[in-house]
Amino acid sequence: MLHKYFNRSEFACKCGCGFDVVDAELLQFLVAVREHFNAPVTINSACRCESHNRRVGGSTGSLHKSGRAADIVVAGVEPADVVHFLDNVMSPGGLGEYSTFTHVDSRSGAARWCGE
Ligand SMILES: [Zn+2]
């Protein structure tokens, strides 16, 4: 067990390769979201090995490849609201707002973007 809210298996690469490293700072962001909204957080995609990242069209320098990024959905909460909370309270390195999910990562420096 990784944390009371999250199992390590939820972070594992979807290809079945077993890559399931979870960055401690990333986990803090997800726990903060879970507690602030008091709602389940689904991790659509966290760890990705090189080949899986390529298969899903991830960028070459994707933080998903080092276990430092997660695409999340918070039950009953719009991605815009998740972004707003994270940006103002946790100030993560990377924050991407998409129509159906939120990307958050623990890069150093700040990147903010909107996707499809
Ligand atoms: Zn994999």
Q: What is the pLDDT of residues 3-25, one digit of tens each?
A: 899 999 999 999 999 999 999 99
pLDDT average, residue stretch 37-64: 97
pLDDT of 3? 86
Strand order in the sheet with 94-97: 41-45, 69-74, 102-105, 94-97, 111-114
CA of 15 to the centre of ligand 1 (A): 4
CA of 20 to the centre of ligand 1 (A): 9
pLDDT average, residue stretch 41-57: 97
Sign of torsion over alpha carbons 72, 42, 73, 3 = negative
CA of 80 to the centre of ligand 1 (A): 29
pLDDT of 1? 67
